[in-house]
Amino acid sequence: MSQILVILTGSIACYKACEVVSQLVQRGHRVRTVATKSALQFVGATTLEALTGEKVASELFAEGEALDHIGLERWADLVVVCPATAHLLNRMAAGLADDLAGALLLAHDWKKPLLIAPAMNPMMWSHPATMAAVEKLCGWGARLVAPGNGRTACGEAGEGRLAEPKVIVDAIEAILVQPLRRLRLLITSGGTAEPIDGVRVLTNTSTGATGAALAAHFAQRGHGVALVRARSAQPAPAACREALFTTFAELDAQLGQLLGGENFDAVIHAAAVGDFAIDAVEVGGVVRAPGEGKLDSDIAPTLRLRKNPKLLDALRTRSRNPAVKVVAFKLTRGADSERVRAAVRSLLRGGAADYVVHNDLAARADSGPFPADIWDAAGSIVERCPDRDAIGPALEKLLMLPADEPKE
C-alpha cells in the first residue's frame, strides 16, 4: 500500500479523476486529494472526501493548516496531478506558488516520483507554451501520462483528452514498483552526416532505432533521459529532452555542452559517428570548401578526408561527473569471435568504456531481431540480448548505481 497525493485542477475531466481516485482506493492505496478552486467548480469536495475518507485540501491559508503545502508533499510516496490543466502546467513550469497546489508542487522533492496527466482543448495542448512547460517538467523528472486523441468536451477533436482512468492507474502502479533511484542518462543516437556540397552528404546507414528504443525504455522506467540524436534519426518519446545534430562538429559541441553542464550518471553512446570529416572537395583540379553550392553531376569530385577524433575516448574527461558510466557500441559485419573480441577490447582500452554493446550486422535477418551482446570492462560477455528491445532492460540492470546519495 502506498500513500498517493492526487492534485485535481480545473478541467471537466475532474469526473474521470474521481474514477482514478476510486480505483486507487480500491487497490488498497491511501489517497489524499488537493483540489484547486477551479477544480471544485467541477467536482464537489464531498465526492472526494467520500471516495478517500480524507478531508480535501484546497486553501493555502486555511486556519490550522498553514504548513499543508510541505506536509502533504512529504507525506506522499507519489504525487499525481490529474487532471492537469494548461494553467497548472504553465505555472508549475514557471515555479509559481500562488495557491496550495502550486506551493506544494514547488516544494516537490524530486527524489520522489511525480506524475502528470494533462487534460485540455487540443489547441491548448499543442500551444508552444504548454509544450515547453511539459518538456521542462519532464526534464526535471516529471512522468507524463500523455493525453489521448479524440473528441474533447469542448467539441473539438485532437490530442488533449485525459487518458482513460485505467491507463492512469496502471501508470501509477508501474511507477510504484519501479526502482526509486533515478538515473540521469545521456543517450546519443543516429548517424553523423558531413556535407560534400549544399545538397550531398557523406553519412552512414544508422536509423537511430536502437537509441530511440533505449530512450523509450529508460524514460518509461522513470529515468531522466537527454537524447542527443541525428536530425534524420527516430525522435525521442515525449518524456525525453532532445538535442539535435547533423555533423560530427555539432554532435561534438552538444556533448561538450551537456557533459560539462550537468551531472549524468551514464552516457550511452549509441550514435554512429563518422570516422572521417571532409577537409576539401576537389573538382577538375579546383579545390573547394565542403558544403558549398551544388557540384556539377558530370564530374566526379575527389573528397579529401581527415580522421575525426574518437568521441568515446573523451566522454569521461569531459563529464562533470567523474564517476560517469560509459556504454559504447560496436557494430561488426560477419567478424569471427577473435575479431569481435579485438574490436570490443579496442573500445575498452584505456578505460574509455565500462560496457560495450556489440552487434553483428550479419546476424540480422531482413527486418528480424537484431541480437546484441554486452561486454564488461574486463572483456567478458555479461548479457546476451536476443533483440534490440532487450538492450535497455539489460543496461538498466548494469547501470543502476548502489544506493548512495545521487551526486549533485
Contact set with ligand FMN (CB under 6 A): 9-13, 36, 38-39, 85-88, 119-120, 124
Residue of 143, 149, 142 lying closest to 163 (CA atoms): 149
Q: Which residue has the cell 514547488?
A: 106
Give min distance, CB of 108 to ligand FMN, in A.
Answer: 16
Measured between its terminal Cα atoms, the distance across the chain in Å is 31
- The residue annotated as part of the active site, out of 14, 138, 154, 385, is 154
- DSSP string covering 232-274: TSPPPPTTSEEEEESSHHHHHHHHHHHHHHS--SEEEE--B--
Give min distance, CB of 104 to ligand FMN, in A.
Answer: 13
Residue of 225, 221, 207, 196 lying closest to 367 (CA atoms): 207
Q: What does each C-alpha distance from 159 to 123, 127, 165, 234, 316 come to in angstroms? A: 9, 12, 16, 21, 41
CA-based radius of gyration for the chain: 25
Q: Per-residue b/e over 183-199, b at no fewer than 16 CB within 10 Å?
A: bbbbbbbbbbbbbbbee
The grid coordinates of residue 111 equal: 527524489
Give min distance, CB of 8 to ligand FMN, in A.
Answer: 8
- Cβ nearer to ligand FMN, comparing 40 with 244: 40
Give min distance, CB of 120 to ligand FMN, in A.
Answer: 3
- Cβ nearer to ligand FMN, comparing 87 with 182: 87
- Cβ nearer to ligand FMN, comparing 13 with 352: 13
- Cβ nearer to ligand FMN, comparing 97 with 244: 97
- Bridge partners of 5? 32, 79
- Cβ nearer to ligand FMN, comparing 15 with 75: 15
Give min distance, CB of 173 to ligand FMN, in A.
Answer: 25
Rounded Cα–Cα distance for residues 7 and 21 (Å): 10
Q: Is 154 a catalytic residue?
A: yes
Rounded Cα–Cα distance for residues 159 and 27 (Å): 29
Which residues are known catalytic residues?
A: 154
